[in-house]
Amino acid sequence: MQLNVGLLGGGSWGTTVASLVARNTRVQLWARDADAVAQMNTEHRNEKYLPGAVLPKNLTATTDIAEAVAGADVLIMGIPSQGFRSVLEQVKPHLRAWVPVISLTKGLELDTRKRMTEIIQELLPGHPVGVLTGPNLAREIMAGQAAASVIAMDDEIIVQELQSLFRSGLFRVYTNDDVIGCELGGVLKNIIAIAVGMGDGQGAGDNTRSALITRGLAEVTRLGVAMGGRAETFAGLAGMGDMIATCTSPQSRNRHVGVELGKGRHIDEIIEEMVMVAEGVKSAPAVMALAEAHAIDMPIASDVFRVVCGESNARQAFRGLLRVTPGAESEPG
């Protein structure tokens, strides 16, 4: 039996996931941009976010959120973190009971510090909740290159059905029951990617990059475990895998922000010219608040936070990290 899938969000990753799922079942994508919706329906393209990519002909789009949600057997949320709650509020009157809701969003809500699955549980109690995450660069996947992802849910039966829904061609999907760890891996690595970008923007080499990624992963794991995730999750696709891709790819938005900061540009100027959201910038204050609440020392993330908030600059942050006296590798710093 074919499922009806509603996917909310017409950005690069939302459109890519809709394209993957459309190979297996019916998908209707909701987006606010009427021109983009028209282009997807008539030309099977989304040139603003995925220039040159051809979308499946059975992927339809709409500007009517009720139309996308009312008949959905599965709802996928590809909405940036700071607009996630408001879109869910619009969804609530139209979504049938017990429909699984899957988040693609790698961010935290700034005011509440909540993960997206926590917001779903708050606004849509009773609905099975999950997250699709991993080292997934949209343009590579649309080009047909091999990639792997993780679908994380508490319900073992539903997660296996969704594994089949998302799996397509060279896009492999693994399952995991550590929702907290998988979700936080996707959130926290964005902060480290900005740090790596700041080093790259100042001409740092491969040794520096690998050190920042490794020590950054240690920071991310400490906070993730303190918040209820499992340490082994951060050594997998949702942790290490996603961090490597985000910290090293020229396609990474968060790394791009760091590179431009490393060149001496101001954060507002960088964000102004970006088409897509860099979640690490939005989530940095919430991440640091969580680190403080859980008494976790995160020196790399802390320096990134000060730079994106305008309290420091990339050169000062880089020098500060180099001056940190190292102790045992198992310790912070």
Q: What is the DSSP string of 222-267?
A: HHHHHTT--GGGGGSIIIIIHHHHHHH-TT-HHHHHHHHHHTT--H
Least Cα distance to 288 among 305, 271, 274 occurs for 305
Separation CA 261–CA 266 (nearest Å) = 6
List, as one string, the DSSP characters of 203-222.
T--HHHHHHHHHHHHHHHHH
The one catalytic residue among 106, 114, 189, 282: 189
Residue 122's CB is within 10 A of a number of other CB atoms, namely 12
Question: Could you tell me how many residues make up the chain?
Answer: 333
Contact between 179 and 19 under an 8 Å Cβ cutoff? The reply is: no
Clarify whether 263 is annotated catalytic.
Answer: no
Residues with catalytic roles: 189
